[in-house]
Amino acid sequence: MKTIKTILLVVMLLTTVTNYASEKVIDAPVKGITILRFSNVKKGHQYKIIDDKGVVLYSEKIKRNGAFAKRFDFTALNDGSYSLELDKDFEIIVTPFIIQANNVVFLEKNEKVIFKPVVRTENNQLLISQMSLEEQPLKIELYYNGERIFKDELVGNKILKKIYKLSAQEKGDYFLSMSSGGRSFVKSFEML
């Protein structure tokens, strides 16, 4: 049964990646203007333009479900390497691009998908899972009332998962800090 659940999770995640693979369209620049188009986005998703030092140059939250388009003049940026990140519910799609002599070239063949950890609570249990195609470890720190109560690291598989038993007597606010592949993820939840 455990194997069937794992296989179903992998199939579901790969189906999601396949469905989103064709959702981004980048129109070729015309007179310095590039139009970014995303289909199938939701309100609250966010996209960012980041330089090669990790500095966020532009960030915007999507305001409605469906299709989204935005015009940019990337030629105002210095020559160099950049990336466009679309931060969705369970994944971050990273598309690198370069600017050279006022030309913008998106390197879509180098696009990668980073899966976010999935966290849920059920019957005083904390369930954490993450698909890690590059087999990056997932570092976990759990806080209760502002104090760290637990630290762990999940390693060794493409699908990382663990169930933690929480005390039924410790009701209140919890904060979960997770990191993997140089990225941080946070989740707050309440045990009633």
Percent of the chain's residues with pLDDT above 90: 58
Rounded mean pLDDT of 5-17? 37
Q: How far apart (Å, rounded) are the C-alpha atoms in residues 54 and 163?
A: 33
Pick from 164, 186, 166, 183: nearest CA to 175: 186
Q: How far apart (Å, rounded) are the C-alpha atoms in residues 159 and 154?
A: 10
Region for residue 133 given its phi and psi (left: phi exceeds 0; alpha: psi -120 to 50; beta: otherwise):
alpha
Pick from 81, 80, 94: nearest CA to 24: 94
The identity of residue 150, as a single letter, is F
Residue 153 phi/psi, 5° resolution? -140, 125
Q: How far apart (Å, rounded) are the C-alpha atoms in residues 80 and 97?
A: 9
The pLDDT value recorded for residue 13 is 40
Going along the chain from its start, the domains and CATH numbers come out as 2-114 (2.60.40.3080), 116-191 (2.60.40.3080)
Q: How far apart (Å, rounded) are the C-alpha atoms in residues 90 and 19?
A: 13
Rounded mean pLDDT of 106-132? 93
Q: How far apart (Å, rounded) are the C-alpha atoms in residues 69 and 25?
A: 9
8 Å CB contact between 24 and 85? no
* Confidence label for 183 from pLDDT (cuts 50, 70 and 90): very high
Tell whether the model's pLDDT for residue 105 goes beyond 70: yes
Rounded mean pLDDT of 43-52? 95
Q: What is the pTM of this model?
A: 0.76
Rounded mean pLDDT of 26-37? 67
